Amino acid sequence: MVKVFISADMEGATGVAVGAHVGSDSSDYGRMRKLLTADINAAIRGAMAGGATDFVVTDAHGKMTNILIEDLDRHARLFSGSNKPFAQMEGIGPEYAAAFFVAYHAREGTEDGLLNHTLLGNTVYEIRCNGRPFGETGINAALAGHFGVPVCLVTGDDKVAGEARELLGDIEAAQVKTSSERLVANLLPPAASSELIAARAQAAVERAGRGEIKPFQVPGPVQFEIDFKSTAGVKMACLFPTVEYLGSKSLRVRGDDYLAAFRQMWGTLIMVRACQSGAI
Ligand SMILES: [Zn+2]
């Protein structure tokens, strides 16, 4: 059995160019859900040609209920819903030969990165892991790396492909669009993007099998510094004694290893967002 873990966001899906495409209240959302699911299926088809046999997919965008189960490849199992301790990586563990990041996007602040943001777009300005700015690619690749799993494929725009390769090295990238502004992309149609994704996914599994792509590992101790877009909720998060106040919009959390630090970071973000939305 060769298992592949797939974390599927939405901004980097075939066809997505603007925020309305990935918002569940938009009339275009239904089309984009189909295209996102087709991208995942293309990755599964390619990976199977490369020798993979089993797939776990985590829905990793917004309410995390975007992927159409009725259209999903029969070899996959899907984590759907958003109250996940591992967030965009729910289900990751040491049993996977490779991880894929499908429909990903560049981190907050990336010039011309399509729909660039980091985890919670309205809330987070920057996240630094041991001093280095991380987007979702880095944050989630290090979680896979904690379990010894290499991220071998990213799909999305040219900016996230560049971010992934800068951080993770020479991994496979299926660039299904080229962005020229945060809200403008030159898009491949699905007939072309599905072939590209499948080819890159096949290569990713074959290269993983040969041990050519190493896990991205952040050795402990690990600290996250988080800068927020607003002051709201930052002091409330510091009710937890493990959360350090750095300034009106900034705080720090630590862990002995990456997983411990990630848990602190994700829990803190959820707390701050809840305060900012007036939900508690
Ligand atoms: Zn995202």
pLDDT(279) > 80:
no
Q: What is the pTM of this model?
A: 0.97
Asked whether the beta carbons of 124 and 195 are under 8 A apart, the reply is no
Confidence band, pLDDT 50/70/90 cuts, at residue 277:
confident
Q: How is residue 213 written in tokens?
A: 């792509």
pLDDT(130) > 60:
yes
Q: What is the pLDDT of residues 13-31, one digit of tens each?
A: 999 999 999 999 999 999 9
Give the Å distance between the CA of 246 and the centre of ligand 1.
25
Cα–Cα dist 74/54, whole Å: 10
Confidence band, pLDDT 50/70/90 cuts, at residue 278:
low
Give the Å distance between the CA of 83 and the centre of ligand 1.
15
Alpha helices in the chain (DSSP H): 29-49, 136-146, 158-168, 190-209, 234-237, 258-276
Q: Which domains does the chain have, with CATH numbers?
A: 3-118+136-209 (3.40.50.10780), 222-276 (no CATH)
Cα–Cα dist 110/182, whole Å: 9
Give the Å distance between the CA of 144 and the centre of ligand 1.
16
Give the Å distance between the CA of 147 and the centre of ligand 1.
21
Q: How is residue 51 written in tokens?
A: 């020798």
Give the Å distance between the CA of 103 and the centre of ligand 1.
9
pLDDT(140) > 80:
yes
Q: What is the pLDDT of residues 68-107, one digit of tens each?
A: 999 999 999 999 999 999 999 999 999 999 999 999 999 9
Q: What is the pLDDT of residues 103-119, one digit of tens each?
A: 999 999 999 999 999 99
Quick one: average pLDDT of 252-274? 97
pLDDT(176) > 60:
yes
